[in-house]
């Protein structure tokens, strides 16, 4: 029994020693070569150092400590990419491994390489390379994937499918930038619509100050019906409540066909819009369309009997043209229009901030506005 206990203790001690030795190996990160990528060599080196440290497989020398070592040994690493120079740095620093690599933009793809040089054997014992879609904002994730590949750490298949570049069209990864989330903004009313809203209430208006500016608050839903690489074709639905601060009841719904680049965040969309608002039938005195105070609304009974009213020019004749327009004295109806929108999505970590400029046109005038939203995109 005692011999068995001693045997087990020896095995456990050996395993612990191997684990300690593996984790106690030291490494220096140095000279990451970049070409046409939107990241400097210094920043690329920092990213590689961070990901190597996060792997917890080596004791990685800190950047400031590395600077001291290079200054003490008078080593210039401006163009230190070859094995001879890297070995000199590794031996001067007294590390077991020197980690280097490259990030190259090759048009449609970004190629990331990570190489681990063993100082004792003076040879590369681990080399990993991967091709990714051209998405500069995800370079750190790309470096993480290649570091894991070099160290034998399993990567998330979902992340690989999103970022890795495939040569075969059926396997081309799809990238999604989903902007479902709340929206808020302002719209500037133009044309006859502005005159109507600014008119006194007894003339069918809302008695608003001119220029008329309305608030908007709502929500956007969207879904991609086509996605290839960094391109997306979308169906977008937006629900808004307009002019709440003006005591208006004017909800609207827009259905857009949109196109977006996940690479740079730019997007463009267009489609119909439907608005609930109060509208009335009547006529402009003198047919002066849009003349303030010149519109006379008619009730349903008056509209049905308009030919018999004594104010018409002659029996059975009406010198005025009946027109339907927005009017506070009327009934709630659906008003249609068309909207054009252009925008860009900005990123801050996992936070997406879409900003859109839009123009909505209709029979009476239109709206020019700016909306801002936000949503959180989490990496699984």
The full DSSP string for 293-359 is T-EEEE-HHHHHTGGG-TTSSBTTB-SS--EEEE-TTSEEEEEEEEEEEEEEEEEETTEEEEEEEEE
In the chain, % of residues over pLDDT 90? 42
How confident is the prediction for the chain on average, in pLDDT? 82
Please check the confidence at residue 127 and state whether its pLDDT lies above 60.
Answer: yes
Q: What is the pLDDT of residues 153-166, one digit of tens each?
A: 988 887 887 788 76
| The pLDDT of residue 286 | 56
Token code pair at residue 303: 């509209």
Place of tokens 């808004």: 240
Per-residue pLDDT band at 9 (split at 50, 70, 90)? low
- At 291, phi and psi to the nearest 5? -70, 125
Q: How far apart, in Å, are the Cα atoms of 365 and each of 11, 185, 189?
A: 84, 19, 8
Please check the confidence at residue 219 and state whether its pLDDT lies above 90.
Answer: yes
| The pLDDT of residue 293 | 46
- Residue pair 370/186 in contact by the 8 Å Cβ criterion: yes
Calculate mean pLDDT across residues 179-199: 90
Please check the confidence at residue 6 and state whether its pLDDT lies above 80.
Answer: no
| The pLDDT of residue 377 | 61
| The pLDDT of residue 327 | 86
Q: Establish whether domains 23-166 and 181-376 are of one fold.
A: no
| The pLDDT of residue 172 | 45
CA angle (20 as vertex; 16, 23 as ends), nearest 5 = 140
DSSP state letter for 154: P
The better pLDDT of the pair 36, 7 is held by 36
Which CATH topology does 181-376 take? Porin (2.40.160)
Q: What is the pTM of this model?
A: 0.50
Please check the confidence at residue 372 and state whether its pLDDT lies above 80.
Answer: yes
Calculate mean pLDDT across residues 271-300: 72
Per-residue pLDDT band at 290 (split at 50, 70, 90)? very low
Per-residue pLDDT band at 168 (split at 50, 70, 90)? very low
Q: Where are the domains positioned within the chain?
A: 23-166, 181-376
Per-residue pLDDT band at 139 (split at 50, 70, 90)? very high
Q: What is the pLDDT of residues 66-116, one digit of tens each?
A: 889 988 888 888 888 888 999 999 999 999 999 999 999 988 899 999 999
Please check the confidence at residue 17 and state whether its pLDDT lies above 50.
Answer: no
Residue 133's SS3 state is: strand
Assign domain 23-166 to its CATH architecture.
3-Layer(aba) Sandwich (3.40)
Give the Cβ contact number of residue 250 at 10 Å: 21
Report how far residue 236's alpha carbon sits from residue 256's, in angstroms, rounded to the nearest whole number. Answer: 5
Q: What is the pLDDT of residues 303-330, one digit of tens each?
A: 655 544 544 445 545 556 677 888 888 8
Calculate mean pLDDT across residues 30-43: 91
| The pLDDT of residue 289 | 46
| The pLDDT of residue 263 | 76
Report how far residue 57's alpha carbon sits from residue 47's, in angstroms, rounded to the nearest whole number. Answer: 16
């Amino acid at each position: 029994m005692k011999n068995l206990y001693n045997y087990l203790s020896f095995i456990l001690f050996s395993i612990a020693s191997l684990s300690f030795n593996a984790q106690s190996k030291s490494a220096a990160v140095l000279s990451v070569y970049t070409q046409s990528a939107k990241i400097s060599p210094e920043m690329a080196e920092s990213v590689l150092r961070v990901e190597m440290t996060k792997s917890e497989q080596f004791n990685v020398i800190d950047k400031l400590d590395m600077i001291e070592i290079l200054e003490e040994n008078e080593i210039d690493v401006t163009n230190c990419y070859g094995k001879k120079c890297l070995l000199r740095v590794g031996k001067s620093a007294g590390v077991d491994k020197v980690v280097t690599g490259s990030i190259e933009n090759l048009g449609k793809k970004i190629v990331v390489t990570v190489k681990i040089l063993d100082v004792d054997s003076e040879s590369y014992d681990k080399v990993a390379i991967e091709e990714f879609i051209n998405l500069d904002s995800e370079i750190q994730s790309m470096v993480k994937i290649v570091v894991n590949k070099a160290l034998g750490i399993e990567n998330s298949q979902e992340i690989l499918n999103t970022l890795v570049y495939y040569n075969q069209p059926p396997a081309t990864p799809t990238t999604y930038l989903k902007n479902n989330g709340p929206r808020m903004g302002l719209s500037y009313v133009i044309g006859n619509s502005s005159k109507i809203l600014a008119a006194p209430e007894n003339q069918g208006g809302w008695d608003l100050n001119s220029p008329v500016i309305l608030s908007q608050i709502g929500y956007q839903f969207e879904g991609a019906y086509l996605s290839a690489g960094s391109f997306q074709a979308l169906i977008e639905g937006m629900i808004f409540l307009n002019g709440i601060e003006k005591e208006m009841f004017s909800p609207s719904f827009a259905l857009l066909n949109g196109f977006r680049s996940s690479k740079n965040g730019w997007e463009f969309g267009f489609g119909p819009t439907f608005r609930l608002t109060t509208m009335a039938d009547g006529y402009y005195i003198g047919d002066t369309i849009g003349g303030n105070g010149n519109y006379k609304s008619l009730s349903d009974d008056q509209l049905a009997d308009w030919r018999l009213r004594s104010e018409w020019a002659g029996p059975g004749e009406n010198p005025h043209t009946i027109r339907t327009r927005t009017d506070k004295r009327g009934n709630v109806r659906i008003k249609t229009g068309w909207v054009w929108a252009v925008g860009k999505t900005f990123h801050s970590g996992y936070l997406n901030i879409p900003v859109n400029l839009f123009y909505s046109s209709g029979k009476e005038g239109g709206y020019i506005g700016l909306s801002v939203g936000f949503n959180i995109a989490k990496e699984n």
